[in-house]
Amino acid sequence: MTLSDQTKSKLSKAVLSLIASGALAGPIAHQFLKEREGLRNNAYQDAGGVWTICYGHTGDVKPGDHKDDAQCSELLTQDIDKADAIVTALVHVPMSEPRRAAVISFCAYNLGPGKCETSTFLKKLNAGDNAGVCQEIQRWIKDGGKDCRIKSNKCYGQVDRRDMEAELCAM
């Protein structure tokens, strides 16, 4: 990636710096997810009504839960480790570290293993359809049935996230 490519990127300088330094997928995904999920120390219900805390952590969250920043960072690390294990189980082709980070974010962390396992995205990835798999990410732009390309639906951040995941995927 050249400097002129970086100026066109939607990815943050921190993520691009990790990629340029040859970082593994885990640290790339960690930085990316911190930026895209945002930190919320108190439990809240996401757009789908799922109780969530910290950097998008779900599962064992209940109303009234609170975590400090260090606990949230540890939960993110644990969640990425779980997501990486899911990616290892589902993906049967070699990937670059940025692509692996994209798959961790998109497939395992955001969609979940059930939706990912049956997705056209995963079929294209395992078939070696390098261009098609990255384009497939950008098709997932609905939240609770709402088209996130419509700004009044208040989920446009998902469109940006998909663009960034597709960019990571293409690297």
Average pLDDT over residues 134-151: 84
Annotation says 143 is catalytic: no
- Residue 4 lies inside a defined structural domain of this protein: no
Question: CA 118, CA 47: separation in Å to the nearest integer?
Answer: 23
- Residue 5 lies inside a defined structural domain of this protein: no
- Residue 6 lies inside a defined structural domain of this protein: no
- Residue 117 lies inside a defined structural domain of this protein: yes
Count the helix, strand and coil residues of the chain and give each as a percent rounded to the nearest 5.
60, 10, 30
pLDDT tens per residue across span 99-121: 999 999 988 778 888 888 999 99
Instruction: Give pTM, 2 decimals.
Output: 0.86
At 31, is the secondary structure helix, strand, or coil? helix
Per the structure, the complete domain to which residue 59 belongs is given by 11-169
pLDDT at residue number 57: 92
pLDDT at residue number 7: 53
CATH code of 37's domain: 1.10.530.40
Annotation says 37 is catalytic: yes
pLDDT band at 148; cut points 50, 70, 90 = confident
- Residue 88 lies inside a defined structural domain of this protein: yes
pLDDT at residue number 5: 47
Q: Considering the chain, what is the average pLDDT of its residues?
A: 89
pLDDT at residue number 97: 96
pLDDT at residue number 37: 87
Question: CA 80, CA 104: separation in Å to the nearest integer?
Answer: 7
Average pLDDT over residues 45-69: 91
Neighbour tally for 126: CB within 10 Å: 13
- Residue 2 lies inside a defined structural domain of this protein: no
Is the per-residue pLDDT at 3 higher than 60?
A: no
- Cα 171 from chain centroid (whole Å): 15
Sequence-separated (6 or more) residues with CB below 8 Å from residue 162? 106, 137, 138, 140, 141
- Residue 1 lies inside a defined structural domain of this protein: no
Question: CA 37, CA 53: separation in Å to the nearest integer?
Answer: 10
Number of domains in the chain: 1
pLDDT tens per residue across span 65-87: 999 999 999 999 999 999 999 99
- Residue 3 lies inside a defined structural domain of this protein: no
Is the per-residue pLDDT at 6 higher than 60?
A: no
Catalytic residue among 5, 46, 69, 147: 46
